[in-house]
A and B are shown apart, each in its own frame.
Chain A
Amino acid sequence: MNKDILVCGVGGQGTVLASKLIASAAMDNGEVVHSAETIGMAQRGGSVTSHIRIGDEIYSPLIPKGHADMIIAFEPAEAVRNLSYLKKDGIVIVNKQPVKPVTESLQDTGYDGVEMIEYMQKKCECIVVDAKSICEPLGSSKFFNVAILGVAVGSGKLGISKEWMVKQIETRVNAKFVEKNMQAFEAGIKVVQ
């Protein structure tokens, strides 16, 4: 399997966990995986990305622009920021809830994510996820990253089956939160089925 997957969001949204789950699911199935994370100053409320590259013939740790099969975005503007990485026939799974930057509160430009979503829908195949409402029955929005991962798996285009991912959630997530994460994951899968 050759797949390039980019996970993006804002510092603190859980991109690292999501990318670890994808990478380990692929590895458990014998794939060669490389990935790269944003670390350091940008983690403080800045834009963060994880690049996951599955396949043998990989050299660069970062996905070359125009090569990503899928972008999993936890925030609309971050999806657009990374859209140049997407293949022409690639797909974006995007959460519709915006995260306003601090500068937005100081100088209101009215950023609400809507323009971003509309732009992407014009440019590529796009699944827009209302992660907040998916997670509402769970009583916490904390697990929304795993819900979006559920949508990505459910779309059938991630190249990772439901069973593989369930195994990762069961073994790699803090035991206290496995049940909630599983519910979020299942809820995400249902969105696309």
Chain B
Amino acid sequence: MKKEYVMGNGAIALGAMAAGVNVVAGYPGTPSSEIIETISKYNNGDIHLEWSINEKAAMEVAAAAAYTGARTMVTMKQVGLNVASDPLMSLAYVGVKGGMVVVSADDPGPISSQTEQDTRLFGSFCKIPVFDPSTPEEAFEMIQDAFEYSEKYKTPVLFRPTTRVCHGYASIEVAESYDTKKHGDFEKDSSKWVIFPRLSFENHAMIEKRNPKIGADFSEYKYNSVRGNGKKAVFAGGISYAYAMEYLKDKDDVKVCKIGTPFPFPEDFVLRVLEGVEEVLCFEELHPFIEEELLKLVGKHHLNIKIRGKHTGDVALSGENSSESAREVISSFLGLSDSCEQIDLSDMPKLPVRPPVLCAGCPHRASFYAVKEAMKGKKAIFCGDIGCYTLGNAMPLDMVDTCLCMGAGITMAQGFNWTHDDCTNFAFVGDSTFFASGMTGVANALYNEADMILCVLDNSTTAMTGHQPHPGTGRNMMGDVVDKISIQSVLEGMGVKKIETVDPLDFEKAVNVVKECAEMKGVKAIIFKSPCIAIVKSDKKMTISDKCINCKKCIREIGCPALITVDGQVTIDSSLCTGCGLCSHICPVKAIGGECNE
């Protein structure tokens, strides 16, 4: 055995390996991405590991593998589960043979997500078990249990860590290496694996009968636990349990109950906890899930217990919890004073705001600026998408008018086309997002004869989530070099007639290409191709000569972090500049020169 200091996501990965996982598939998304990256680091080739093109593909790959008896894991962030919900919903009816764990990481806050949805609700919606770890150490053990329960009850199970568990570091004791599970071949049986109304009807009844049994089983599960005594009880799950314990660790006169398996609810265990309890506080993030289960339980058993939490206004309905909110809410519940010695910071000076921005030298900045320049004075709508390039919305670029979900920009540009006669509609999509869910939107545009300009911002990586490879990069997670799928060929194959590939740093050409496309009817595509600056390190620098009239147009137009003012004078921060040269095209007196990347 050896000790590894790993992130929660690393603990999940190592736990799955300790369970003998055979197949792992997923799509990158904060806060879940490092699970697959960790497996890649430890994999000796026995585990089939892949970044699938999207979460739905990952779910289906893993489902079939689990039909054979193999153990499989799928990883994604919570919004990815929306994409994969179609196969998961049906799979819940069909079931699996080998253990299958669907990891869907929730993001209370949200810190880097579109929604504050709660995967536990997905569990009760699909009627499959949910595991909710409260620490990285617990995640390591719990995911091994999740595989066991999945196999025991022949059902996929959900495993939902939240950001603070995913990104917290702890020491885990691991073996030198792990063997994968031995499994057989797929046994054909169409009465079992082919979903038809009759099978769904029968299995629905089976699931309704089975779930209370799982709940009873969970009532004996070690991660549903209670400590302390008294007439008051605090119920918590996931990271909120850690926050609650930070405040309650020295207090024995209150019960603290951790719910590690929120669905099916461990009713027998909870009824035992509630013996002698008069009042309960539920401290949890996102949906009042435990709270509603408790309300159901006290109703069902006519218990005279007051349940407090989000529905009573004691706990915030949105945003993440913290040690501070735990102290405030729980001390008030217990009737104690909320005192903590802190430095008085009521007179704090105004702090500079640091919104995230596109990196200095990011080719997306040049692509956005080329389109902006080409469309100056003309009516245009710019539909954005999910990735680093969502940051194109920031001032002064201001080039993202909409952002909804993965791939939506392409189809939304079509919706604007049918409601605006006098407007050029653009869709910006990254290369990874194009493969994830952009291609169907292009087919939709062609079939329904929309006028739109598709701008693929191809930086040859999945940048925002930490530079994962995708079908266009020619590398996969098994370490193999594979044929790159060409975005241009995909578009040609679909029948896009006008396709231009241009380097956005070749600025004048890029502007002209946009202008040309804006004059044409139909679906036009511009592939802005230039690698992510965080991968291709450049030591080139731009410089400003004494011709500079300090008009600050460069700063006002493109908002590059390397363009700063020092004592009121425009200066290039040489520690940030990558020599992309975009600023040199903006300078009205041609004062910016240097060794440029063009």
Contacts and interface: CB of A to CB of B under 8 A. Distances in A.
Sort chain B's interface into a size bin. Answer: 35 or more
Contacts of A60: 239, 242-243, 246, 322-323
16 contacts: A23-B5, A23-B169, A27-B171, A34-B170, A41-B30, A44-B388, A45-B359, A59-B243, A60-B323, A61-B135, A62-B164, A62-B322, A64-B246, A102-B357, A103-B352, A119-B348
Nearest to A48: B354
Interface stretch (B337-345, B454-462, B535-543, B577-585): B337-345
B30 A39 contact: yes
Contacts of A64: 246, 322-324, 327, 340
Contact of A108 (B164, B349, B356, B565): B565
A157 interface: no
Contacts, number: 154
B482 interface: no
A103 B353 contact: yes
B167 A106 contact: no
A59 B246 contact: yes
Interface of B is mostly: loop
Given A43-B356, A66-B342, 4 more contacts: A36-B169, A46-B355, A116-B349, A123-B344
Interface in A58-84: 59-62, 64-66, 77, 80-81, 83-84
A87 B340 CA distance: 10
Nearest to A103: B353
Given A102-B561, A115-B349, A124-B343, A61 B168 contact: yes
A7 interface: no
Nearest to B248: A59
B31 interface: yes
B53 to A, nearest CB: 22
* A11, A45, A86, A88: most-surrounded residue (chain B CB, <10 A): A45
Interface in A93-114: 100-106, 108-109, 111
Nearest to B326: A60
A37 interface: yes
A192 interface: no
B545 interface: no
Q: Which 6 A-B pairs have the closest CB atoms?
A: A61-B168, A64-B323, A40-B112, A66-B342, A40-B30, A59-B245
B249 A59 contact: yes
Contacts of B169: 23, 33-37, 61
A108 to B, nearest CB: 6
A105 B354 contact: no
Contacts of B342: 65-66, 84, 88
Interface of A: 10-11, 23-24, 27, 32-37, 39-47, 57, 59-62, 64-66, 77, 80-81, 83-84, 86-88, 100-106, 108-109, 111, 115-116, 119, 123-124, 141
B518 interface: no
A115 B350 CA distance: 10
* B322, B356, B395, B563: most-surrounded residue (chain A CB, <10 A): B356
B4 to A, nearest CB: 11
B206 interface: no
Interface string B388-429: 100100011000000000000000000000000000000000
Interface in B351-374: 351-359
B586 to A, nearest CB: 14
Contact of A105 (B341, B353, B555): B555
Contacts of A101: 352-355
Given A61-B242, A65-B323, A86-B343, A45 B561 contact: yes
A46 B112 contact: no
A84 B343 CA distance: 7
B172 to A, nearest CB: 12
Given A37-B169, A64-B323, A88 B341 contact: yes
